[in-house]
Chains A and B, each alone.
Chain A
Amino acid sequence: MVYRGPYKIRVEEKDIPRIEHPNDAIVRVTTGAICGSDLHLYHGMMPDTRVGMTFGHEFVGVVHEVGSSVQNLAVGDRVMVPFNVYCGSCYFCSRGLYSNCHNVNPNATAVGGIYGYSHTCGGYDGGQAEFVRVPFADVGPSKIPDWMDEEDAVLLTDALPTGYFGAQLGDIVEGDTVVVFGAGPVGLFAAKSAWLMGAGRVIVIDHLEYRLEKARTFAHAETYNFVEYDDIVGHLKKATDYLGADVVIDAVGAEADGNFVQHVTGTKLKLQGGSPVALNWAIDAVRKGGTVSVVGAYGPIFSAVKFGDAVNKGLTLRMNQCPVKRQWPRLFEHIRNGYLKPSDIVTHRIPLEHISEGYHMFSAKLDECIKPLIISTPA
């Protein structure tokens, strides 16, 4: 697929990517996904999103070609590729901060590399395609274990690790009350992960009833539709006996609904780095001394965040893009043990040639869409 400007994409023939560095691999994509954060690109919110770019940072496939210095992969290997492009050797990578790599993104120092996520994230074409260039093939990708389903594997490239990471950032201790804003894929996985970390109560907030239903059945969560309350923060205070939640996770990010002015200025007019409605609600709904974890994606420009409340409440604010591969060994265990089944949230499987319809459906939240996968045509 290629981006043709805000709200417009189409399928085009492009040259198969070539090896540009000795540690590159070229991967033939078999399954990809559209991430909620792809919608920020699709809506034209992320600076330096160029017409002609191919999106997609969640994909798995088969190694088609390897560069001269690649040691860990061979042609024909089935691989899962973390959304992070990272070198493994810079100051940040060598400490495990893979999402903050300093060697892969010339366009910005404030963010690492991400496949198919604008030039702000390095200018790499992504995996909503038949083929994709994968830099640092000895560092990022892993062979998909034989026992793992392909659809579980593709959800391990971003959505599941990001949700699980969001719960970790909350520093949850046994018995904590955890509120998750957003019942999309990341929010559902964050809610589910909060239980693994010993939460005593997990509450999910959204405005889409079908997603809240999924939060109840898939993530065993208590749910509230914020549209049904005049003031969702006031309601959450009452629901927590006026204390507030111990931990709040923002799994919404830049396109939050719930405040018309914030939404229009942030997402339609691009006057903010995003609409920080969920983040502001998180700051207000958490208890004093509590923790707000942010894994929703925001753009790099300023947003109207209620920072004074965060200071005055003595909050801990924790956030980052997820260093995906650090999560994999534990998540593999949890999937094997039956604690997590990521593909349970997949609602649609769309052929690559129909991807513009897939984006529209996901963007407009039609047909009870939660997670659309993109099925590439076999080469």
Chain B
Amino acid sequence: MADIATPYTAGKPALKESSEALRARIPGWGVDLDPADRPSFPREQPGIETGAHWDFPERQREEWPRERSIEHAFLTPVFGTSTPPKGASGAIRKYAYARFSEGRAAHWLLLIAADRVDAWEQHLRSLATTRPDNPVTETGILSEPARHGLRSRFGSKRADVNHQWIDPILVGGPWVVAGLGAAAAIRTLSRGLQSRAGARK
């Protein structure tokens, strides 16, 4: 019987270490042994004391039309007020909330698309400010030498090294494409102006 693996017979596998040995070796072993005496048991505890001194909370003031899931009966009494929707990304977000429930993939895919649009809107807007986006400082990549970038990645077996090369493409790629596009546009424009000037002569 000794060479028949556990699941093919009724017995439980022998413990590698007895409870007594584990209790002696590991501080606190078994102090929460009783499943019924753990903090989240039972999962639902009707009437649990929470500190709330209201049946329904007073409503926070809505200072702009706050987007909400159509699965809610109304705007929740309290909500976050970070970064109101604006621009094209804001329009996409409002549409996703107003049109699709959380059960629809379109809801989430539109919100993810809006995130990408938002990033571009804000990058372009930043170029017109005294503090344009700086992908070098904002990615924190300058910390590589101090944080042993090479040794950390290649000093041992790591599964993530096989895809980390994609990150710079994801971050820098759109900037390169945008730069090439801008250069092409400028070149086209200047050629157009030159040929127009040539035609006048």
Contact = CB atoms under 8 A, between A and B. Distances in A.
Contacts of A93: 50, 52
A249 to B, nearest CB: 14
A40 interface: no
Nearest to B142: A357
Contact residues of A: prevailing secondary structure: loop
A174 B162 contact: no
Contacts of B201: none
Nearest to A93: B50
Contact of A361 (B123, B147, B159): B147
Interface string A240-270: 1111100000000000011010011000101
A329 to B, nearest CB: 7
Instruction: Tell me which of B41, B58, B153, B160 has the highest count of chain A C-beta atoms within 10 A of its own C-beta.
Output: B160
Given A7-B171, A326-B39, A356 B139 contact: yes
B19 A175 contact: yes
A344 interface: no
B172 to A, nearest CB: 10
Interface stretch (A25-33, A121-129, A148-156): A121-129
A295 to B, nearest CB: 12
A174 B102 CA distance: 40
B122 interface: yes
Interface stretch (A46-54, A58-66, A178-186, A304-312): A46-54
Contacts of B147: 357, 360-361, 366-367, 369
B79 A359 contact: no
Interface string B32-71: 1101001111011111101111111110110000111101
B77 interface: yes
Contacts of B164: 364
Contact of A356 (B56, B137, B166): B137
Contact of A8 (B5, B158, B171): B171
Contacts of A360: 139-141, 143-144, 147
Contacts of B81: 20, 123
Nearest to A172: B35
B198 interface: no
Interface in B152-178: 152-153, 156-160, 162-164, 166-167, 170-171
B72 A168 contact: no
Given A102-B76, A264-B163, A360-B141, A209 B156 contact: yes
Interface residues of B, number: 105
A87 B38 CA distance: 23
Contact of B31 (A196, A200, A243): A196
A377 interface: no
Interface string A333-361: 01001111000000000000000111111
Contacts of A240: 6, 13
A227 B140 contact: no
A327 B137 contact: no
Given A48-B115, A97-B44, A368 B50 contact: no
A296 interface: no
Contacts of B45: 95-96
Interface in A97-129: 97-98, 102-110, 113, 119-120, 122-125
A356 B16 CA distance: 45
B52 A195 contact: no
A257 B119 contact: no
Nearest to B52: A88
Nearest to B141: A360
Contacts of A88: 50-52
Nearest first, the 8 closest Cβ-Cβ pairs linking A and B are A339-B28, A123-B80, A360-B140, A88-B52, A5-B119, A88-B50, A124-B80, A357-B143
Interface of B: 5-8, 12-13, 15-17, 19, 22, 25-33, 35, 38-41, 43-48, 50-58, 60-61, 66-69, 71-72, 75-83, 85, 89, 93, 97, 102, 105, 108-109, 111-112, 114-116, 118-119, 121-123, 126, 133-135, 137-144, 146-149, 152-153, 156-160, 162-164, 166-167, 170-171
9 contacts: A8-B171, A108-B69, A196-B30, A220-B26, A241-B5, A300-B108, A323-B40, A360-B147, A361-B140
Given A50-B82, A113-B78, 11 more contacts: A8-B133, A21-B78, A52-B82, A89-B55, A97-B43, A104-B79, A200-B22, A201-B16, A207-B160, A208-B156, A356-B137
